[in-house]
Amino acid sequence: MIRKDYIRSVLDIFASSPFKPLVLHANKGGDCVRKLNESLIAFCNGNMDIVEELSQQIDVIEHEADILKQTIRSELSSSIMLPVHANDLLNFLKPQDSISDDAQEVAFWLTVRKFEAPDNVRDGFRELMAKTLATVEQYEELVSTISELLETSFSKRDVEETLELVVKVEEMEHQVDVIEKELVKLIFINEENIGPTGVYHLFRLVRGIGDIADKAEHSADRLRTMILRR
């Protein structure tokens, strides 16, 4: 259960800047994906006790992210002045929140069945997860520039640098898509060895991990819109 002092601390942060909680919220999503990366490695190694423990830890972090999201939404309604459109900010927040949601979902699916597939499929999952994590961490770097933009009143140079980071996130998400498609093919090639239930399970994991990168890219695009429409 989230303690009341955690909620108070979020309100204190919001009082100093409406954008700091957005950065903190993005970091919660990143924390979920970092834990998921650990869980995927444990899953591939057959350490299901660790997978279960990490799933529970991700549940806690995802709930903290929900508290932040709810606080941001409620406090924005009472904000008098913002340097960006409130609706654009909320539209940006929605896919960002899905990063932790999707990580939580994948973490659960890792717990339901042991990994049973050839080594090349195992390697494919590790590659997919590593690239997805790198995409999310690039996205975190992007969101961290919001405070700098405010300090410089959205100077042309800082805006351009931020928009360049948006493109980097999009490029990395494309790389995730390529890996995702190749891994799906590999899973079906090995269907006879994996079995129909195993194929369904692994396919769902592949799509879930890929969706995390999709949400980071989607949120990055919304951030670009928010900046350009200010």
Q: What is the pLDDT of residues 169-191, one digit of tens each?
A: 999 999 999 999 999 999 999 99
Give Cα separations from 179 to 68, 184, 213 (angstroms): 32, 9, 12
CB within 8 A of 178, min separation 6: which ones?
Answer: none
Contact 85, 226 (CB under 8 A): yes
Helices (H), 77-155: 86-111, 119-151
Q: What is the pLDDT of residues 57-106, one digit of tens each?
A: 999 999 999 999 988 888 776 555 566 777 888 888 999 999 999 999 99
CA distance 161 to 32: 27
This prediction's pTM: 0.90
Angle at 31 between CA 28 and CA 34, to 5 degrees: 155
- Report domain 4-228's class: mainly alpha
